[in-house]
Amino acid sequence: MPDAPAAPAPASPATDTATPPTEINRLIRLQQANKARIRHTTATQRADKLRRLHQMVLDYRADIQDALFADFRKPAVEVDTSEIAAVAEEATYAAKHVAQWMKPERVSTPPQLAGTVSEIRYEPKGHALVLAPWNYPVNLALNPVVAALAAGCPVLLKPSEYTPYTSRLLREMVQSTFDESEVAVVEGAVDTAQHLLGHPFDHIFFTGSTEVGRIVMKAAAEHLSSVTLELGGKSPTIVDATADLRKAARRIALGKFTNAGQTCIAPDYVYVHADVHDAFVDELATAITSFYGETVDERAQTTDYARIVSDRHHERLAELYRDAVARGARPAVGTGEARDGRFLDPTVLTDVPLEADVMQEEIFGPLLPVRSYHALQEPIDYINSKPKPLALYVFTGSEATADQVIAHTSAGGTTINNVLLHYLNPALPFGGVNASGIGKYHGEAGFRAFSNERAVVRQRNVPSPLDLLTPPYTALGRRAVDLALKLV
Ligand code: NAD
C-alpha cells in the first residue's frame, strides 16, 4: 500500500490570527446599523443570497477539501458529503421554501374575540452571533448562517480555533461572497468568543460542548439574548436480538468511525442483546476491517480515515482507552493504539464497566464500548438515568420494540435501523433536549430559530364583545361574563 501523505504539523489554536477586538467592534457596529435594512429584504432577495452561499461552497470545493485535510486529514469524500453537500442542500432547501416560511400565518379566532383577525408574523430577531465547533467546521458554521439569512438577520460567525486552516478559508470565502455588513467571519479562540459574548446580540447560536453551552447561556442572560444551543453528550444505541446484525454493524461502524468518531450524533456506545452480542461484535470486526484495513498499520495508512483534531484531544482519548482497559475492558476489535500524527485506531471495547470514564463522558472519538443486556428495560433505565441524549438509535426487526424505546425515553432525535439520518432530512427539526441542547434548526426550524413569532391581532370596525366589559360592571356585563365562562 502506498504511503499516505504525512499529517501536517498539529493545528494549534489560531491565537496569532485572531481578529483584534477593535475590528470586531467595528463589524458589530456595522451589522447592527444594517439590521433594519436587512429586515425588509424580500423572499426573492433572501433566496438569492442563499443561492450565492450554495454556489460559494461548490466553487471552493477543492480549497475546502485541502483545508480540512490540513486540519485533521479529513477524507475528501467525507468533506464532499458531510460539509459541502450538507451546506449546499440546506441552502437550496431554504431558498426554495423561504417565501412560504415568511408568509404571515393566519390563526383561528375564539368567539370572545369576534370581530378580529389574528396572525403570526415572522420578523427577524435581529443581529445574530454564531459560535461554531471544529468537528464539521464548514457545515456547522454555515448551516446556522443559512438559517440566519433566510430569517433576515445579519450574522457574525466565529469558527473554531482548532481548525485554523478551515477558519481562515471560511473568512476568505465569506469576504468574497457577502457584504460584511450582512455576513462576516471573525477568527479567534476563547478570548475572542468571550469578547463577542460581551455584546448584546439579539440571538446567539452556539454549537459545541455542554460545558461551554452553560457559559454561553450565562453570558446571554446578561443581555437576555435568545439562544439556540446545539450541544453534545452521549448518544446511545440499542441493538436487539431481532436486528439484522450485519447491516446494524456496518451502519454503526460507519456512523461511529466517520470523522474518526468526532461527530456529535455518532453512536457513543452500544447496548446489544446478550444472545447476539458475540455475533454482533464479529460483524463489527468485519465492517471495520473492510472499511479501513485488516491491520493497524493498514488503518494508519489509509487516507479514508480522519485524524484526531488536536494533541490534547488525542491524549484525552488515549487516556479513556487506558482507563477502560485498566478497569477490565477488552479491545475486541482494533488495538486502541494511538500513534504520532494524531492517529487513533478504530476500536471496539467489550466488558466495559459502567464506572469506566469511557461510559461516563462523551467519547467524541473512535472508541466504541459495547455492553450486553437481557431485558430491554435495562438499557431504557440506564439511558433514563443519564442526561437526555442528542441522538438515540435502535436497531430491531420489531416496530413494537422501536416504539417502546421511543415512548419510554427522550432524545433530540432518533433514527431506527440506521444512524445519523434524522440529521439529514431538512424537513425535520434538529437539536437536543436539556443537556444536549436547547432549540432546533435545519429547514423551517432554522428559519424560526432566528425569527420572532410576533402575534398580531387586528380589530375590525365592528363592535367587540369586550366593549361590554368596561367599568362600572353592570348586571348586563356580569351576564356577558357568565356567558363567556360557559364558552371557554
Ligand atoms: P467547544 O464547546 O469547546 O467550542 C465551541 C465553540 O465555543 C468554539 O468556537 C470555541 O472557540 C468556543 N468556546 C470554547 N470555550 C469557550 C468559553 N470558555 N467561552 C466562550 N466560548 C468558548 O466545542 P468543540 O470542542 O469545538 O466541539 C465538540 C463538542 O461540540 C462536543 O461536545 C460535541 O458533541 C458538540 N457538538 C454538538 C453538535 C450539535 O449539533 N449538537 C455538533 C457538533 C459538535
Q: Enter the DSSP assignment of 150.
A: H
Q: How far is the CA of 443 from the centre of ligand 1 (A)?
A: 22
**Is 484 within the bounds of a domain?**
no
Q: Enter the DSSP assignment of 181.
A: T
**Is 48 within the bounds of a domain?**
yes
Residue appearing with cell numbers 485524524: 307
Q: Is the pLDDT of residue 145 over 80?
A: yes
Catalytic residue among 264, 283, 362, 444: 264
Q: What is the pLDDT of residues 304-352, one digit of tens each?
A: 999 999 999 999 999 999 999 999 999 999 999 999 999 999 999 999 9
Three-class SS state of 148? helix
Which residue lies with its CA nearest to atom 30 of ligand 1?
208
**Is there a single domain that holds both residue 86 and residue 202?**
yes
Q: What is the pLDDT of residues 271-298, one digit of tens each?
A: 999 999 999 999 999 999 999 999 999 9
Percent of the chain with pLDDT over 70: 97
**Is 477 within the bounds of a domain?**
no
**Is 342 within the bounds of a domain?**
yes
**Is there a single domain that holds both residue 177 and residue 77?**
yes
pLDDT band at 254 (very low <50, low <70, confident <90, very high): very high
Q: Is 85 left (phi over 0), alpha (psi -120 to 50) or beta?
A: alpha
Which neighbouring-strand residues pair with 106? Answer: 119
Domain that includes residue 294, residue range: 236-430
d(CA 416, CA 402): 7
Query: What pLDDT is recorded for position 217?
Result: 98
Alpha-carbon distances of 80 from 44, 56, 64, 66, 223, rounded to whole Å: 28, 14, 9, 12, 39
d(CA 322, CA 270): 19
d(CA 55, CA 48): 11
Which of 160, 199, 256, 430 is the pocket-test mutation for ligand 1 (most atoms within 8 Å of CB)? 160
Least confident interval from 23-27, 109-113, 152-156: 109-113
Query: What pLDDT is recorded for position 478?
Result: 86
**Is there a single domain that holds both residue 32 and residue 158?**
yes
Query: What pLDDT is recorded for position 9?
Result: 42
Which of 207, 420, 422 is the pocket-test mutation for ligand 1 (most atoms within 8 Å of CB)? 207
Which of 273, 471, 343, 412 lies closest to 73, judged by CA? 343
Which of 171, 233, 226 lies closest to 204, judged by CA? 226
Q: How many domains does the chain have?
A: 2
Three-class SS state of 427? coil
**Is there a single domain that holds both residue 84 and residue 124?**
yes
Q: What is the pLDDT of residues 422-481, one digit of tens each?
A: 999 999 999 999 999 999 999 999 999 999 999 999 999 998 888 878 898 888 888 878
| CATH classification at residue 373 | 3.40.309.10
**Is there a single domain that holds both residue 330 and residue 353?**
yes
**Is there a single domain that holds both residue 190 and residue 298?**
no
| CATH classification at residue 136 | 3.40.605.10
Contact 383, 404 (CB under 8 A): no
Q: How far is the CA of 152 from the centre of ligand 1 (A)?
A: 25
Q: Is the pLDDT of residue 270 over 80?
A: yes
> Cβ atoms within 10 A of the Cβ of 456, count?
12
d(CA 472, CA 469): 8
Contacts of 461 (CB under 8 A, 6+ apart): none
Q: What is the pLDDT of residues 370-387, one digit of tens each?
A: 999 999 999 999 999 999
**Is there a single domain that holds both residue 188 and residue 275?**
no
Contact 431, 131 (CB under 8 A): no
Q: What is the pLDDT of residues 1-14, one digit of tens each?
A: 333 344 444 444 44
Q: How far is the CA of 208 from the centre of ligand 1 (A)?
A: 2
Which of 281, 15, 434 lies closest to 289, judged by CA? 281
Query: Is residue 153 among the annotated active site residues?
Result: no
Query: What pLDDT is recorded for position 6?
Result: 40
**Is 6 within the bounds of a domain?**
no
d(CA 8, CA 22): 32
Q: Is the pLDDT of residue 262 over 60?
A: yes
Question: In this structure, are strands 437-438 and 451-459 parallel, antiparallel, or unpaired?
Answer: unpaired
